[in-house]
Amino acid sequence: MKTVIVDDEQLGIDSLQWELKRLDSDIEIVKTFTDPIEAYAYLQHANIDLLFSDIQMPLLNGLELLKKLDPINFQVVFVTAFDEYALQALKFSALDYLLKPVDKLELTKALEKFNAVGLDAQQASFNERIHIQQSAATGDLPDKVVFATKETFEFIKPSDIMYCEALSNYTAIYTTSNKLVVSKTLKEVEELLMHYNFLRVHRSFLVNPTFIKRYVKTLGGSLIMENDLEISISKTRKDAVMEILKLK
């Protein structure tokens, strides 16, 4: 796994480099940079698998660095002490986001996530999210979205998806005809489908409002889907759900 680390603080590079070598012997750290401009020059032509990048850096921050490189042919994990950048990082479709000081367990999860699917699948996922974001800006969304499973790329119409359920680092997608498990967290699937008006009603469920059959008022509120599955609405999302469904 050819890896590059970009961080304007050498201490951050040294610490991460030590943890990576300790956790995974397959990692080859081919370059490290404290200067993001130098990193940009290198990454334009580099053949690597994974980039660990700080976000807040002088002259060129991590998000700007990736935007200048777009499209890219490697995966990205942002590493930073500033959690205010979390949402931006997720919107940019990073593989993962780690806070400093890097927790060994969270770093392990990020590496497991990288290994969960092939690099081609990860790159397709990255490009797909960027494509959808760009299409949403012009009002021209694609009819189908690509989801990577362990063995295939599945091209699915969002209009055929009834709901999605979180399965740890994976997500089960239930369509009108079948179920498939994709190598994405529910948050990542939500980012793909948010432009198609999907609704997060619970930490474990994302639903297509088209397939809601009934709203149940009792016991905090729940939704009955077309296949008669009952999905509870979390307390923190109830007001937003009722407003979107025009029940208030």
pLDDT tens for the 248 residues of the chain, in order: 899 999 999 999 999 999 998 887 788 999 999 999 999 999 998 889 899 999 889 889 888 888 888 667 788 898 988 766 665 665 565 677 888 889 888 898 888 877 765 555 555 555 555 554 555 445 566 778 877 776 677 888 999 999 999 987 788 999 999 998 887 788 888 888 888 889 999 989 999 999 999 999 887 889 999 999 999 999 888 888 888 887 75
Residue from 101, 7, 106, 121 nearest 53 by CA: 7
Q: Which domains does the chain have, with CATH numbers?
A: 2-116 (3.40.50.2300), 151-244 (2.40.50.1020)
Interacting residues of 120 by C-beta distance below 8 A, sequence separation 6+? none
The 8-class DSSP code of residue 246 comes to T
Query: What is the greatest pairwise CA distance in the chain?
Result: 59
Query: How do the residues of the chain divide into helix, strand and coil, expressed in percent and rounded to 5?
Result: 40, 30, 30
What is the identity of the amino acid at 6? V
Report the SS3 class of residue 108: helix
pLDDT, residue 34, reads 96
pLDDT, residue 128, reads 53
Omega before 36 cis (within 30°)?
no
pLDDT, residue 210, reads 92
Tokens 């809601």 correspond to: 212
pLDDT, residue 127, reads 55
- The rounded distance, in Å, linking the Cα atoms of 51 and 29 is 10
Interacting residues of 182 by C-beta distance below 8 A, sequence separation 6+? 147, 148, 149, 154, 170, 171, 173, 189
pLDDT, residue 136, reads 46
- The rounded distance, in Å, linking the Cα atoms of 68 and 64 is 6
Cβ–Cβ < 8 Å for 70, 40? no
pLDDT, residue 170, reads 83
